[in-house]
Amino acid sequence: MHLCPFAAPPFQKNTIDYTVNRGTATEQHLQQLAVSFSQLDSTAEIETSLLIYPDAYHEFEHYLELLDYANHLLDDLAYRGIYQIASFHPDYCFAGNTENDASNFSNRSPYPMLHLIREDSLEQAIAGYADIKQVPENNIKKLRETGYAEMQKKLKNITQ
């Protein structure tokens, strides 16, 4: 739906690393996160990484715990300012939103995921985008116009 103005180039250039993390052990998932940071350090051809958790974090609150641990690891490994973690979950709900607000779909995904983004690349993309401050508002408007039921259907169709 072109919600993120920066998503298309890495997808089109095939520079996204997809890592499917099986199992439910948070410690193992955090170890993989550390490996993914190192992989980004050593592999310039990888623009961004998606860590996907199909077997774990089905409850949004448990996912938020993983996200908290992941951000602590980002700090502990001194990667803040180098990488950023974006979060996606099938039940993502922004603070202050109701569950059935279609705008939540900007961060909903078929499975719980962590998205590792290079800060330098993000800054370059932002610098080249004329009206970056309008992106969230435009996304909210577009998603609400599409409607909750239609967005739910789109998300469900991805996993079938």
Q: What is the pLDDT of residues 112-154, one digit of tens each?
A: 999 999 999 888 878 877 788 888 899 999 999 999 999 999 9
pLDDT of amino acid 113:
98
Residue 3, in any domain of the structure: no
Residue 2, in any domain of the structure: no
Residue 1, in any domain of the structure: no
Q: Which domain holds residue 151?
A: 8-155
Residue 41, in any domain of the structure: yes
Amino acid identity for residue 96 in this structure: G
What's the number of domains the chain is made of?
Answer: 1
CB 141 within 8 A of CB 106: no
pLDDT of amino acid 8:
81
Residue 80, in any domain of the structure: yes
Q: Cα–Cα distance between 153 and 160 in angstroms, integer? A: 11
Better pLDDT: 47 or 131: 47
Question: Which of 2-11, 90-99, 107-116, 150-159 is predicted with the least confidence, judged by mean pLDDT?
Answer: 2-11
Q: Cα–Cα distance between 47 and 94 in angstroms, integer? A: 27
Residue 160, in any domain of the structure: no
Burial 21-60 (b: 16+ CB within 10 A, else e): beeeebeebeebbeebbeebeeeeebbbbbbbbeebbeee
pLDDT of amino acid 7:
84
pLDDT of amino acid 127:
82
pLDDT greater than 80 at residue 101: yes
* Section 14-27 average pLDDT: 96
CB 104 within 8 A of CB 97: yes
pLDDT greater than 90 at residue 73: yes
Its pTM stands at 0.91
* Section 56-72 average pLDDT: 97
Residue 141, in any domain of the structure: yes
pLDDT greater than 80 at residue 38: yes
